[in-house]
Amino acid sequence: MKKYLSLPILFGSLFLLSCASQRKNFRPDRKYPPAVLKKDYMVFRHVLEAWHPSLYWYTPKDSMNYYFDLGYSQITDSMTESEFRKVLSYVIARVDCGHTSIRASKRYSNYLDTAKLKQFPLIMKFWPDTMVVAINLDRRDTILKRGTQIQTINGRTTRQLTDSLFRYIVTDGYNVTGKYQYLSTGLHFSSWYKDVYGYTDSFDIGYLDTAGILRQTRIRIYDPKADTVRKSLGKVLLPGTGQRQKGPAQRMRRPSKHERKSRELLFTRSMQIDTAAHTAFLTINTFERGYHLKRFFRHSFEEMKKQQVKNLIIDVRSNGGGDASNSTMLTRYLIDKRFKLADSLYTIRRISKYDRYINHGYLYDFLTFFASHKKADGKYHFGYFERHYYYPVKHNHFDWQVYILTGGNSFSATCLFAGQVKGQHNITLVGEETGGGHYGNTAWMIPDVTLPGTGVQFRLPRFRLVVNKTQIKDGLGITPDVPALPTRDAIGKGFDFKYSKAKELIRMRNSAQ
């Protein structure tokens, strides 16, 4: 019996050793010959032309053909995967669809999971003509602290940097708020700076000091392998003994699976109630499945009614979307009229000869066959959602004041939610324009496509959704009723200006009554 029980462990160990070996042997600087790259590029183009329902929604066909030809013309020599992805990213950004983006191959992604690569040391908050330090990865730097306004990087101004990098960043329509937010998140700026300009061992930084005077400094590239602060945590000597005491990192107990799940749920969705102020704070960071959101909404609104909450702040600034049934359920607790998810929801075909490149392509074809029906316009429509009306929930419906915090990371299903309730008499949108489009989007079923030679992947949304056909297709996101925009002072102090603006609106309303 013991021999049989040990087989899964043996095979698991062999699998992990194989993966580790692949990561170790992977070479990110490997170059692919032009013939391989050109074949992959034509698959990329043909799949988009065959399947993408909004390929020419914002960019006319003749212009899109120009960009396709331009990208192909750049393949004149061998390229690394990252160089090839840069070409693809430039072309795919011309589609103006935030759900259509380039991804690294699985081999490259596995490599990035464990590789501690050098980085540009500053994570910054971007907005028009402005970039401010949000985090400095070099903790020894006493000059470029959080809140420092950066004027130039190696002589390039904010406008020059964003104009160049925006060419490779996908967005819905003509929206730029989402692009600014994208560069402000994590290491995205660092990654694209490397791909577009390349790294050097140091960077010349022009910045404004506390008196507003332009200064210059030079910073080194950040190498996480040389982070001596982290390494020294476990090497503190006990006084008078010469023995090492355990550092904080060594004493920390690894959380259990249940604890990790609880923390994940708390980060994903949470509610706090200030009973004295009769105000509730609801944070929803995703509408994805797997987080019991419908049950969470039911319990939350039940508790709000019990606590006689009169003001509700809903934070969806970091919500990139997910399952529309979850966003619709939240809408039903707030909206005061019936509504449809979409006026139209359709795909342009059910099958194509390029489906072998689409991950689980035939499964998606099967689902499309049963979910859609061809109409007179030649499109295959998801008729149920075009006809079906949703109604406000009756039990624990919230009829008091609601303040919804939005921003550049509010995307996809989050925009369906915010767009449906915008303009309602008791609901105020606070913050910045959403990153997702107001008029509609291209999403629903979104398989990955894997290019055969390089393994590079890209997302391929198969349905176009138009929320309201009478609305002007301006290519913008959902604009807030009350703007709350970043400032250098707010970033420096870690001040939550959008949340504070909502609380200010509540105080003003209370004092006026």
What type of residue sits at position 366? F
Residue 175 has pLDDT above 50, yes or no: yes
**pLDDT surpassing 50 at residue 26:** yes
Confidence band, pLDDT 50/70/90 cuts, at residue 234: very low
% of the chain with per-residue pLDDT over 90: 80
| Same fold across 122-223 and 260-512 | no
Q: Is 383 helix (H, G, I), strand (E, B) or coil?
A: helix
> Are 478 and 417 spatial neighbours (Cβ–Cβ below 8 Å)?
no
> What's the CATH fold of domain 260-512?
2-enoyl-CoA Hydratase; Chain A, domain 1 (3.90.226)
pLDDT of amino acid 267: 84
pLDDT greater than 60 at residue 153: yes
Give tens-digit pLDDT for 430-478.
999 999 999 999 998 999 999 999 999 999 999 999 999 998 899 999 9
β-pair partners for 207: 150, 215
Give me the CATH code for the 122-223 domain, please: 2.30.42.10
Who's near 260: CB < 8 A, 6+ residues apart? none
Query: Residue ranges per domain, the chain?
Result: 31-110, 122-223, 260-512
Instruction: Give CA 239 to chain center in angstroms.
Output: 48
The vertex-321 CA angle with 190 and 300, nearest 5°, equals 120
Q: What is the mean pLDDT of residues 327-337?
A: 98
Q: Which residue has the higher pLDDT, 250 or 480?
A: 480
Average confidence (pLDDT) over 25-31: 90
pLDDT in tens, 36-69: 999 999 999 999 999 999 999 999 999 999 999 9
Q: Whole-model pTM?
A: 0.89
| Residue 373 parent element (H or E) | strand 373-374
User: In the structure, what pLDDT confidence band is assigned to residue 416 with cuts at 50, 70 and 90?
Assistant: very high
Give the separation between CA 151 and CA 410, rounded to whole angstroms.
Answer: 28
Q: What is the pLDDT of residue 25?
A: 77
Please, which residues have CB within 8 angstroms of residue 104's CB and are 6 or more apart in sequence? Answer: 81, 85, 112, 456, 457
Long-range contacts from 251-257, C-beta under 8 angstroms, 24+ separation: none
In eight-state DSSP terms, residue 42 is H
